[in-house]
Structure 1
Amino acid sequence: MSELSEDDRAAVSDVRSAVMRLSRRLRNQRVDESLSPTEMSVLGTLARCGSATPGELARKEHVQPPSMTRIVAMLEGKGLVRREPHPDDRRQVVVSRTSQAEAMLAESRDRRNAWLAELAEGLTDEERAILRQAAPVLEKLAHL
């Protein structure tokens, strides 16, 4: 962070704080309260990246493989994922989301979008324009 000015460092701190608060509020908009944030994250990863082995999921989610094995088992027990034989390696399985998971994710996404849209109605036209400009920057930061 040494290349950033003092004002930029203050802005980074403000963004971090605001994103954390907004993230907590968004988590409260969950459709299925029986799923942990980690389980929801795994379903989201499968939605974004497609089917994956438990090892690949563990790396993407930054958890240990034994933890991912337990998470996948829990999700499978709830009918949200299915395990199928790996097409190239019989020792492995590939995890995919089910149509039930897709429907739940879509409902969750719709609920959160509606909640955020309602909040955005309270912004000025100028603030909404700034938000439109900030969205790609925040997306870039999320993937660096």
Structure 2
Amino acid sequence: MTTRPALAGELRAAIMLAARRIRSQRGDVGLSDPQYTVLVWLTKRGPMTPGQLADLERIQPPSMTRTVNGLVELGLVAKDEHPTDGRQVVVSLTEAGKAEVRETRRRRDAWLTKQLSTMTPDERATLAEATELLRRIADS
């Protein structure tokens, strides 16, 4: 039987490799991970200030400002005046940004579906059970 520390190390490595492979499946723009993450936050939560995005990503506001400005240049987000604070802006997704999120998700799901199609029904059932366990770990 595998010890808990050994299992933890193997599981961590497998999760990291799987996540890296999934993240490699990108939309047409070829965004960096931080840029794509901003688009996902805006998809989930709607328009936000760069400061709010920086808080969510646990990075310094100047770093987020650079990321947002890059996304503006690509036409994936727009910056508008804050409704109550003239010193701030609000970042929102453009139609092109929404399309990039949809395409990246489609490619990632297609890649993972292809990998799952090579597995037996029992292996897919095991992964379905592991998905719930991994979700519990992530939510802790």
The answer to whether residue 108 in structure 2 is matched with residue 109 in structure 1 is no
2:51 to 52, 55, 65: 55
Structure 2, unaligned runs of 5 or more:
none
User: What amino acid is aligned across from residue 32 of structure 2 in structure 1?
Assistant: S
Give the Å deviation of 1:33: 5.1
Give how far 1:54 is off: 0.4
Work out which of the residue numbers 83, 95, 99 in structure 1 matches 2:95.
99
The alignment's TM-score, normalised by the length of structure 1, stands at 0.86
Equivalent pairs, count? 139
Identify which of structures 1 and 2 has the higher relative contact order when contacts are C-alpha pairs closer than 8 Å and 6+ apart. 2
Q: Which residue is equivalent to 2:131?
A: 135
| 1:61 partner letter | E
| One-letter amino acid of the counterpart of residue 56, structure 1 | Q
Selected match of 2:39 from 18, 43, 46: 43
Q: 13, 19, 41: which is aligned to 2:9?
A: 13
User: Match of 1:3?
Assistant: none
Q: Which residue identity does 1:41 align to in structure 2?
A: T
- Matched with 1:90 is 86
> Which deviates more from structure 2 when the two are superposed, residues 20-29 or residues 108-117?
20-29
Offset at residue 50 of structure 1 (A): 2.0
CA distance in 2: counterparts of 1:111 and 1:58, whole angstroms: 27
Tell me how far 1:139 sits from its aligned partner.
3.0
User: How far did 1:131 drift?
Assistant: 1.3
Shifted more, 86-95 versus 51-60: the winner is 86-95
Normalising to structure 2: TM-score of the pair?
0.88
Give aligned-pair identity as a percent. 43
- The partner residue of 1:121 within 99, 117, 124 is 117
Q: Output the aligned Cα RMSD.
A: 1.8
Mapped to 2, the partners of 1:26 and 1:76 lie a distance apart of 25
The 3 A distance-change label for structure 1 pair 33 and 133 is: same
